Structure 1
């Protein structure tokens, strides 16, 4: 890597830095039930991480039921209200804050790119002890299309002033991996969102780790070069 190139990390939020996937699943279930649609939890979980529009379109296709614009607004409203009520249960994933702090210490830029709306993302970022106004945060409100389109990660790289090809996308879902592939970025999968290693690898992940703490222990495997991670062999006497 030349001196004029800068490596950067682009993080998904839910299931990647914070343990919030299942709160979102419950919130979506309550939101769908508010308009009379009942779906199994696992069907909802498989689509967490997609843009809200594609998420709803996919789930509603499975029910075969048409919905009105007013019902869609109702679903989105109830989801936001329910997730807000469950936010007190959300915790940072192991090693999440430590990973971000280490990248900052090493001078490696990072950003958060989430399919969630800014209002929800602000509250979730606060769980990490971070101020959404003080960090590079790209949400659904900032782009035309969310995941699995590449727009969020492209916008995050642009926000940092780095090339997308020099960026590492870190996410927990196949939608993150697909978006990274379409953006032509290297992607790393985490198991902390509920997807299996095989699914993430098949979707394009270069490496898969348990959670942020596991990634922190293996930063050298994803190209981070720093004295702390390099072995020096003693010269033979």
Structure 2
């Protein structure tokens, strides 16, 4: 029975996807490798272990993968002050808890970034747990992170909220329904084709239509 709401953070609760794309672009340029930013954006939502080979190729991954991921952190950190929560994000987290869900922020971001976003959302007391990239061996679109997040709170079954096709694919692999918002820049068609049960344009729109989604209420 579904009792746990698993919420992606980057691109879903906080507006970071384009900062991530720019940071990755700059990180690749450190190695004289240019990837069009639109292509990087299409991969945002993957963990860094999967994004690098997906957009830069396996040869680049073998030669520079770990160094590129370190460079990405160095490029992303100065952009943190620009990050803002989406309108309604904290209200949604609070509403899910009010309705009886176990709420877990299922992030594959760096722990220091997750901490920064928790403070930005002022959501620590609203969540039963949260994850980071340190908590799973394989990142999205692998299902590991959602499985770990569910286990962390002793949940019976979960419903995922995300913004990217990679979130939705990972949810499907974990056997969980997914609700999607377009806040990460993915289209309705992409999110539905990946398997999203419901797609909303905004967090406020999701809140207004919550009763018609799998996040309406936990299973009795």
The answer, yes or no, to whether TM exceeds 0.5 is: yes
Pairing 1:76-95 to 2, within 5 Å after superposition: 76-95=69-88
Q: CA RMSD in A?
A: 1.9
2:40 counterpart residue number: 44
Pairing 1:92-111 to 2, within 5 Å after superposition: 92-111=85-104
2:18 counterpart residue number: 22
Q: In the TM superposition, what is the alpha-carbon distance from 1:52 to its structure 2 partner?
A: 0.9
Structure 2 unaligned segments of length 5 or more: list them.
none
Q: In the TM superposition, what is the alpha-carbon distance from 1:123 to its structure 2 partner?
A: 1.7
Pairing 1:73-152 to 2, within 5 Å after superposition: 73-131=66-124, 135-152=128-145
1:220 counterpart residue number: 211
Moved more, 116-125 or 86-95: 116-125
Q: What is the TM-score of this pair, normalised by structure 2?
A: 0.91
Please point out which of 157, 166, 183 is paired with 2:174. Answer: 183
Q: Secondary structure at the match of 2:101?
A: coil
Runs of 4+ displaced beyond 4 Å: none
Q: Secondary structure at the match of 2:195?
A: coil
Q: Secondary structure at the match of 1:92?
A: coil
Residues 109-139 of structure 1, C-alpha deviations (whole Å, 9 max, x = no match): 111112222222222222212349x751112
Question: Could you tell me whether the CA contact under 8 Å between 1:201 and 1:208 is conserved in 2?
Answer: yes
Residue 171 in structure 1 maps to residue 167 in structure 2: no
1:12 counterpart residue number: 8
Please point out which of 181, 194, 211 is paired with 2:202. Answer: 211
**Higher alpha-carbon Rg:** 1
How many aligned positions are there?
A: 216
Structure 1 unaligned segments of length 5 or more: list them.
227-237
Moved more, 85-94 or 122-131: 122-131
Distance between the aligned counterparts of 1:147 and 1:215, measured in 2?
Answer: 23
Q: Secondary structure at the match of 1:148?
A: coil
